[in-house]
Amino acid sequence: MSNSIKLAILGLGTVGTGVINLINDNLDELKRRSGRNIIITEVGTRRQRDDIDPDIIQNSDLMAIAASENVDIVIEVIGGTTLAKDVIMHAIKNGKHVVTANKALLAEYGNEIFAFAEANNVHVAYEAAVAGGIPIIKVMREALAANKIDWLAGIINGTGNFIMTEMRDKGRPFADVLNEAQELGYAEADPTFDVEGIDAAHKLALLASIAFGIPLQFDKVYCEGITGITLQDVNYAEELGYRIKHLGFAVRRDGQGDNNAAGIELRVHPTLIPQDALLANVNGVKNAVLVNSHPLGQTLYCGDGAGAGATASAVMADVMDLVRVLGSTDNDDQSSNNENNHGHHVPHLAFIPEQLSDTPILRAEQMTTGYYLRVHANDNPGVLADITRILSDAGINIDAILQKPAHKVGQVPVIILTLPVVESQMNLAIEKIEKLDTITDKVVRIRLDELA
Amino acid sequence: MSNSIKLAILGLGTVGTGVINLINDNLDELKRRSGRNIIITEVGTRRQRDDIDPDIIQNSDLMAIAASENVDIVIEVIGGTTLAKDVIMHAIKNGKHVVTANKALLAEYGNEIFAFAEANNVHVAYEAAVAGGIPIIKVMREALAANKIDWLAGIINGTGNFIMTEMRDKGRPFADVLNEAQELGYAEADPTFDVEGIDAAHKLALLASIAFGIPLQFDKVYCEGITGITLQDVNYAEELGYRIKHLGFAVRRDGQGDNNAAGIELRVHPTLIPQDALLANVNGVKNAVLVNSHPLGQTLYCGDGAGAGATASAVMADVMDLVRVLGSTDNDDQSSNNENNHGHHVPHLAFIPEQLSDTPILRAEQMTTGYYLRVHANDNPGVLADITRILSDAGINIDAILQKPAHKVGQVPVIILTLPVVESQMNLAIEKIEKLDTITDKVVRIRLDELA
């Protein structure tokens, strides 16, 4: 094997350029750590670029690069789920290791892609696909490998966190902050993926698989965005000692207790969490993931979830791992045909493929969370008694109540925080509350988690 | 190779027992992730234990276990730097991989131990030696492998952080909290290692080596404890928007600017950091490490820095990594004799041994930090002018001044925060200030870092 590791970078946008810059800036560091030379041999770009080292071959034919004998590792940073998929599958077929930052592609087609990689004895590495520069994939796959993971909660979309931070810190309404985020380049012209939680759901699907050893099931992630969050709720939450963050949760439920189903909750939604939790103090475009596992307990990982530098850092961390694989004799090792010999690499989804579990993903109405309820009622002395009786009859425990002075004549919002309850129970209770004569509006509900 | 990985645990104290419990609790998880069976074959214990699985051989002769053919990986959790060293060297000589939680041993003898391991083609893994269950060793060695690390700052001693947290939250004096920490088992009967920063210095030496690619140099770590921190200073710091934490810093200086020497600062000391920094909000016995690297920027890692579960988690993460090494054919690979072939494993100190750098470690007087100064003066109108002139003449920039009402008749403390300055300059300035007629006491100084 040659002493140089030959990389191809497909796509020269922000991330691809970031990878080139990282290699230029830190080549000495990369060599001192790996003992190998790392060179970019080919780049895939639609238009010829004159700011690229002339020794690097520029090619608009990505499929040709994916099959090139001049390439050990293919870095896919073009994005999208069509061409990117074709190119990755072609690279795998041609025995190339792949590094990708493409969360949407993996969340939707990861099971197929990883199986194809296993069959072709190559690795598809994807640290950059979740939480940017935070090494949460490596942490979950390797550092927590001896733990049983109970749940994780993550701020895994920087745009959403920027919006929630600005709303809270500066008292600015959602639409106003979204505009600024778009001007700053934090949010796309079409912000749906970010503000509706779809991007977070892609990442959550990946995190949940490596946490619990389940196949990727993006289509089963329950997803609520932040477009409905008002300043009023942000402020009531603060008053009660909570902060609203847009979080992704993956939770293992053992089915103990009444009405509780066994299975896994995969959900993205605005959530009240205690103000003094570190996660509540992760602000701006920062990402963070909190993992609760046995026997380790809670650990938190925080950093930049996007941007050229953070993403390039994650991409090249994967490359450095693959350099070790390329330095070993895996491919020639006869014993690797032994069906029980999984020792050579970390499995793509952290658990060996034949050990992935069919634990069911719970439906929304089976999920258990606490709730923040905002109920608008006529200023009727009996209304609080009616509401609390309905909740009590449904077996829902109230943790706190805040009744504020009327902001409209004759109306007062009542804020209620509940202990965890199965959603179907809460649905029934809210239906009853909304039927009360004294209730004037739909009940606003936001989930709540103590992160305990 | 057998399908089972055979472990020996040397030492059945809190950590050793924690490892046994982890394997009992999570064996299914370990198998599903590694595809291998993991069994404890031997344990080293002075007295025979009847609460241990009878299939496990108990032996008080640790050297015999270290050489046993019945063992693939030796887990050293006896602590100390004498017997532990002999046993580890014997295990290495006998071709065993070693996992250790022994920060004191590695900080003092790591260069020798790692070199011996390299020579014998085995690995000595030590995730549990720094920050307990936080995977900071893996993160720095692998996840940040493509970054150039500029500096790191860590809360890496839980006892010290517990004391600083209680002092601030509850207004309790140092001695009082230390007593409680001892009763709770957080602090040893002789608390010197914790409160004087020696334990933190051990860990910092390890972190600095893998951050910068330098040999272990524990003897060059500058170390200040927290025994001199008073409630008065805790409260003044809070008033100015800062919090005092006991931190370890490893900082690379490029020698730019006046009076600045090129080299690495290794220092453990109480430090004022901004109240709103996440690191300032890591409380109680929790540990956290903040790493600033290029191009990633700042990332933070937080969790339990001690305890049976957290330490066992780290020990077994190392075992899971070694399971992959044992599953490959490293030892039989002819190409591993190639001097440039370092591809098979992460080097012990993150950089390949021949690439470790001789960058000098700076002496205390060469280090650059901001300062908090508390100056007690007679209530003389000219005193502030005198002090600020001395600082200004020494080229020291003042960031904030707080002059509080007299707490003794005729005396007022003046609190001054400075921008970063080389310590030798500050020493001269303080010498001059203390010579002023109006100054009644020694100047109290605590370092300050904006973590920017």
Q: What digits encode the pLDDT tens for the residues B383-430?
A: 889 999 999 999 999 999 998 776 655 677 899 999 999 999 999 999
Which of B27, B147, B210 is the mutation pick for testing A, counting most A CBs within 10 A? B147
Distance from CA of B304 to the nearest CA of A (A): 7
pLDDT value at residue B255: 87
Q: Do A343 and B33 touch (CB under 8 A)?
A: no
Q: Which helix (H) or strand (E) holds A243?
A: strand A242-254
Question: Helix H segments across A5-134?
Answer: 14-34, 62-66, 83-93, 103-119
A286 in active site: no
Residue B2, pLDDT > 60, answer no
CA within 13 Å, CB half, B452? 8
CA distance A351 to A358: 13
Given a cut of 70, whether residue A16 has pLDDT beyond it is yes
pLDDT at A340 > cutoff 50: no
User: In the prediction, which pLDDT does A333 show?
Assistant: 40
CATH superfamily of A136-304: Dihydrodipicolinate Reductase; domain 2 (3.30.360.10)
Q: Which residue of A has its CA nearest to B342?
A: A35
Selecting from 3.40.50.2300, 1.20.200.10, 3.10.180.10, 3.40.50.720, what CATH number does the domain A4-132+308-327 have?
3.40.50.720
Residue B340 pLDDT > 50: no
CA gyration radius, chain A: 24
Minimal CA–CA distance to A5: which of A34, A28, A29? A34
Cβ-nearest to A145 among B33, B282, B346: B33
User: For all residues of chain A together, what is the average pLDDT?
Assistant: 92
Return the domain boundaries, chain A: 4-132+308-327, 136-304, 367-448
Nearest to B146 among A22, A144, A333 (CB): A22
**Measured between beta carbons, which residues in chain A are less than 8 angstroms from residue B299?**
133-135, 301-304
- Kindly give, in sequence order, each residue whose CB lies less than 8 Å from that of residue B9, ignoring residues fewer than 6 positions away: B16, B19, B20, B40, B42, B43, B44, B75, B77
Provide the 8-state DSSP code for A144. Answer: T
- Say how far apart CA B119 and CA A140 lie, in whole Å: 32
Q: What is the pTM of this model?
A: 0.95
**Alpha helices (H) along A220-372:** 231-239, 308-327
Partner-chain contact A313 B278, CB within 8 Å? no
Contacts of A110 (CB under 8 A, 6+ apart): A206, A209, A216, A348, A349
Pairing of strands A262-274, A444-448: parallel
Contact B43, B52 (CB under 8 A): yes
pLDDT in tens, A359-382: 999 999 999 999 999 999 887 778
Would you call A300 and B300 a contact, using CB atoms and an 8 Å cutoff?
yes
Chain B contact probe: residue of A136, A147, A283 with most B CBs at under 10 A: A147
Question: CA-to-CA distance for A437 and A237, rounded, in angstroms?
Answer: 27
pLDDT tens per residue, range A203-216: 999 999 999 999 99
Cα distance from N-terminal residue to C-terminal residue, chain B:
51
- Three-state SS string over chain B comes to CCCEEEEEEECCCHHHHHHHHHHHHHHHHHHHHHCCEEEEEEEECCCCCCCCCCCCEEECCHHHHHCCCCCCEEEECCCCCCHHHHHHHHHHHCCCEEEECCHHHHHHHHHHHHHHHHHCCCCEECHHHCCCCCCHHHHHHHHCCCCEEEEEEEECCHHHHHHHHHHHHHCCCHHHHHHHHHHCCCCCCCCHHHHCCHHHHHHHHHHHHHHHCCCCCHHHCEECCCCCCCHHHHHHHHHCCEEEEEEEEEEEEECCCCCCCEEEEEEEEEEEEECCCHHHHCCCCEEEEEEEEECCEEEEEEEECCCHHHHHHHHHHHHHHHHHHHHCCHHHCHHHHCCCCCCCCCCCCCCCHHHCCCCCECCHHHCEEEEEEEEEEECCCCHHHHHHHHHHHCCCCEEEEEECCCCECCEEEEEEEEEEEEHHHHHHHHHHHHHCCCECCCCEEEEECCCC
Give me the residue from A25, A32, A340 closest to B3, CB to CB. Answer: A340
For residue range B296-307, list pLDDT tens digits in order.
999 999 999 999
Question: What residues of B are in contact with residue A355 (Cβ under 8 Å)?
Answer: 31-33, 35
Is the predicted pLDDT of residue A68 greater than 90, yes or no? yes
Position A228 pLDDT exceeds 60:
yes
Nearest-by-CA chain B residue for A301: B301
- At B241 the pLDDT is 97
CB B86, CB B10: distance < 8 Å: no
Contact B145 A33 (CB under 8 A): yes
Residue from A6, A85, A103, A203 carrying the catalytic annotation: A203
C-beta atoms of A316 and B146 within 8 A: yes
List CB contacts (< 8 A) between A312 and chain B.
146, 295
- CATH for A367-448 (3.40.50.150, 3.30.70.260, 3.30.1300.10, 3.40.50.12280): 3.30.70.260
| Dist CA A210 CA A154 (whole Å) | 14
Residue B384 burial (CB count, 10 A): 17
Look at residue A315 and give its three-state secondary structure: helix
Is the predicted pLDDT of residue B341 greater than 50, yes or no? no
Picking from B58, B49, B110, the residue whose alpha carbon sits closest to that of residue B84 is B110
Distances (CA, A) of B302 to A436, B130, B160, B197, B310: 47, 12, 16, 19, 12
Task: Please give the average per-residue pLDDT across B196-220, as a whole number.
Answer: 98
- Alpha carbons B55 and B308: distance in angstroms, whole number: 23
Looking at residue A404, the DSSP 8-state letter turns out to be P
Segment B28-87, tens digit of pLDDT: 999 999 999 999 999 999 999 999 999 999 999 999 999 999 999 999 999 999 999 999
pLDDT at A259: 65
Query: Could you tell me if B73 and B58 are in contact, meaning their C-beta atoms sit under 8 angstroms apart?
Result: no
CB pairs under 8 A between A and B: 261
Q: Which CATH class is domain B136-303?
A: alpha beta
Question: What tens digit of pLDDT does each residue of A154-182 get?
Answer: 999 999 999 999 999 999 999 999 999 99
- CA–CA gap between residue B384 and residue B374 (Å, rounded): 12
The band of B333, judged by pLDDT with boundaries at 50, 70 and 90, is very low
**How far is the C-alpha of A284 from the C-alpha of A303, rounded, in Å?**
11
Q: From the candidates B6, B203, B245, B286, give the one annotated as an active-site residue.
A: B203
List of residues 6+ apart from B426 with CB closer than 8 A: B371, B394, B396, B418, B445
* Residues in B touching A343 (Cβ below 8 Å): 34-36, 323-328
Q: Do B355 and A317 touch (CB under 8 A)?
A: no
Q: Determine whether the interchain pair B276/A281 forms a contact, defined as Cβ–Cβ distance below 8 Å.
A: yes
Kindly report the nearest CA distance between residue B325 and chain A, in angstroms.
Answer: 7
pLDDT mean over B367-394: 92
Q: What is the pLDDT of residue B372?
A: 98
A360 bridge partner residues: none
Contact (CB<8Å) A34/B343: yes
Residue with tokens 């002023």: B436
pLDDT confidence bin for B13, thresholds 50/70/90: very high
CB contacts, 8 Å: B3 with chain A: 340
**Selected residue of A73, A315, A329, A336 to mutate for chain B interface (largest B Cβ count, 10 A):** A329
pLDDT at B378: 82
Mean pLDDT on B191-218: 97
Residue B259: what pLDDT? 65
Which chain B residues are within 8 Å of A317, Cβ to Cβ? 142-146
B296 closest CB neighbour out of A298, A301, A313: A313
Phi-psi region of B211 (alpha: psi -120 to 50; beta: other; left: phi over 0): alpha
Instruction: Calculate mean pLDDT across residues A33-62.
Output: 95
Tokens of B400: 């904030």
Is-contact A132 A304, C-beta < 8 A? yes
Burial bucket for residue B406 (CB in 10 Å: 0-12, 13-18, 19+): middle
CA distances from B437 to B19, B372, B379, B425, B429 (A): 62, 22, 12, 21, 15
- Is residue A341 within 8 A of residue A119, CB to CB? The reply is no
Q: Looking at the structure, give the CATH architecture of the domain made up of residues B369-448.
A: 2-Layer Sandwich (3.30)
Token couple for A189: 């012209």
Angle between helix axes B174-183 and B158-170 (nearest 10 degrees) is: 130
Q: Using the beta-carbon criterion (under 8 Å), do B25 and A296 form an inter-chain contact?
A: no
**A335: pLDDT confidence band, cut at 50, 70 and 90?**
very low
Could A143 and B144 be called an inter-chain contact, meaning their C-beta atoms sit closer than 8 Å? no
The residue in chain A having the minimum alpha-carbon distance to the alpha carbon of residue B302 is A300
Position B247 scores a pLDDT of: 98
pLDDT over 50 at A334, yes or no: no
> Nearest CA to CA, how far is A343 from chain B (Å)?
4
Dist CA A347 CA A20 (whole Å): 28
Quick check: B105 pLDDT over 90? yes
Mean pLDDT of B229-258: 94
pLDDT tier for residue A339 given thresholds of 50, 70 and 90: very low
Report the residue of chain B nearest A131, measured CA to CA: B299
pLDDT at A336 over 80: no
Decide if pLDDT at B127 tops 80: yes
Distance CA B91, CA B94 (A): 5
What is the model's pLDDT at position A380? 75
pLDDT of residue B410: 61
CB B292 within 8 A of CB A303: no
Q: Do A300 and B298 touch (CB under 8 A)?
A: no
